[in-house]
A and B are shown apart, each in its own frame.
Chain A
Amino acid sequence: MHLLVITGFLGSGKTTFIVKLVKIAMEKGLKVAIIVNEIGETGIDDQFMKKLGFNVWEILGGCICCTLAGDLVRTLQELQGNYAPDVVIVEPSGAADPGNLFGALGTSRIESLTSERKIALLDPLRMDMLMAVLEPLMISTIRQADLILINKADLASPEQIEQTRRVAAEANPVSGIMVISAKNDLEPRVLSEILSCLT
């Protein structure tokens, strides 16, 4: 069972990206499960993905980066036993700190995991503002990722993309950085990079 965790601040395009990715994975014959953790009194993303016919599990009543970290581990274990997906995609709330989340996952024993990929989506339209008011969360998101995707290439200016790339490269000089537009078709080289761990 491969695990893909898609992180990113609120509104960075995680759901749009996941929808695109799941369609492609399903076309390749992979059995995909999605775990969504959304804060708020109603889930929008899980309802949307269910409407598309995806296999979605919700984790409710809090945040999987802290109070519900145990629920995530239990859900992963149950999924393996009851559904046996090839790939599990986790969408944490955009308010979650990935550092806390991966800390909890790292200390748990999920023996069925064959690979784990941490992908962070960044929003270049708001990078300046978010770095000004939420720098610790943004830096944690970037540092925890093994692949960084600068999203919204269709809406952002070249300067915004470049500035986001600079921030990402400075905070995490090791991981790959790619520019995408999740709303549009993902380029083959981006897909190949993302899906490389699944084959």
Chain B
Amino acid sequence: MSDMILEPFAAYLRFAFSDPKPIEEWTEILKRFLERSAMLCEKAGPCVVGHIKGLALLSGDRYVRVSVISPSLPAQAETNASANLAEMTVTLNMLVYGLSKKSLEGIVKETAAGPGTGWSGRVTVEPVEAATRGDHAGHHRGC
């Protein structure tokens, strides 16, 4: 395990639906997204899901927070929002030992493509540029 790489992958997920959806439905969609991503991590090879988490900052002091810590545990969500929304941007951070950043990006894109998640909207994935926060690739090999 100590040899497993930790290459965090971060992205902005832009969800769009044709009709506004209640926040309860959003939290279920986001939970399913993260659970599916964690499952695909496990299928991709030997790895340990540290934390896959997402945050949507909504208007005012409203937010939706979602996270998963294992492919075998349900995702958790928390929100103080109540509005119906047709679009949402979620900042995603994946901290998974054993999978490269490229693999994680592929997993997120596969999840966004929809099969197995059951949603009818569109999700685009925009990776966060490493330059904005420094590149941590492989950093925790020797920490």
State the A residues within 8 Å of B (CB): 9-11, 38-44, 47-48, 51-53, 60-63, 65-67, 94-97, 100, 123, 125-126, 129, 133-134, 136, 183
Known: A40-B93, A44-B55. A63 touches B139 (CB 8 A): yes
Instruction: Scan B69-90; emit 1 where CB is below 8 A from any A CB, else 0.
Output: 1100100001000000000000
Given contacts A66-B142, A95-B140, A126-B70, list 10 more A-B pairs with CB under 8 A: A10-B50, A11-B69, A39-B139, A40-B93, A40-B95, A41-B132, A52-B61, A62-B139, A125-B69, A129-B70
Chain B residues proximal to chain A, CB less than 8 Å? 1-2, 6, 8-10, 48, 50-51, 53-55, 57, 61, 63, 65, 67, 69-70, 73, 78, 91, 93-95, 97, 128-130, 132-136, 139-140, 142-143
Instruction: Give chain A nearest CB distance to B143 CB in angstroms.
Output: 5
A43, A60, A97, A134: which contacts B48 (Cβ < 8 A)? A134
The chain B residue with its CB closest to the CB of A123 is B69
Cα–Cα distance between A40 and B9 once the two chains are bound (Å): 6
Total A-B Cβ pairs within 8 A:
103
22 A-B contact pairs sorted by A residue (CB < 8 Å) = A9-B50, A10-B51, A11-B53, A39-B136, A40-B136, A41-B135, A42-B10, A42-B91, A42-B132, A43-B133, A44-B54, A47-B55, A48-B65, A52-B61, A53-B61, A60-B133, A61-B134, A63-B139, A66-B143, A95-B95, A133-B48, A133-B97
User: B133 to chain A: which residues have CB within 8 Å?
Assistant: 40-43, 60-61
With contacts A44-B91, A51-B63, A125-B69 known, is A95 near B6, CB below 8 A? yes
| Distance between A54 CB and nearest chain B CB, rounded to angstroms | 12
CB pair B50 A41 closer than 8 Å: no
User: Residues of B contacting A10 with CB < 8 Å?
Assistant: 50-51, 69, 95
Contact of B136 among A44, A53, A62, A100 (CB under 8 A): A62
- Closest approach, in angstroms, between the C-beta of A153 and any C-beta of chain B? 14
* Bound complex: CA A38 to CA B50 (Å): 13
Minimal beta-carbon separation of A26 from chain B (angstroms): 15
CB pair A48 B134 closer than 8 Å: no
| Docked complex Cα distance between A47 and B1 (Å) | 31
Among A66, A133, A183, find the residue whose CB has the most chain B CB atoms closer than 10 A.
A133
Considering the chains assembled together, what is the distance between the CA atoms of A48 and B76 in angstroms? 16
| Residue from A39, A51, A96 in contact with B57 in the complex, judged by beta carbons closer than 8 Å | A51
| Cα distance A16–B88 in the bound complex, in angstroms | 23
Q: Top 8 closest A-B pairs, CB basis?
A: A61-B134, A10-B50, A11-B69, A40-B8, A10-B51, A133-B1, A11-B51, A41-B10
Shortest distance in angstroms between A45's beta carbon and chain B's nearest beta carbon? 8
Question: How far is the CB of B8 from the nearest CB of chain A, in Å?
Answer: 4
Minimum CB distance partner of A97 in chain B = B143
Q: How far is the CA of A61 from the CA of B35 in the complex (A)?
A: 28
Bound Cα distance from A100 to B142, whole angstroms = 11
* A41-B130 contact given A52-B61, A63-B139, A133-B48, CB 8 Å threshold: yes
CA distance A134 to B4 in the complex (A): 10
- Give every chain A residue within 8 A of B8 (Cβ-Cβ): 39-41
Chain B residues whose CB sits within 8 angstroms of the CB of A42 once the complex forms: 10, 91, 93, 128, 132-133
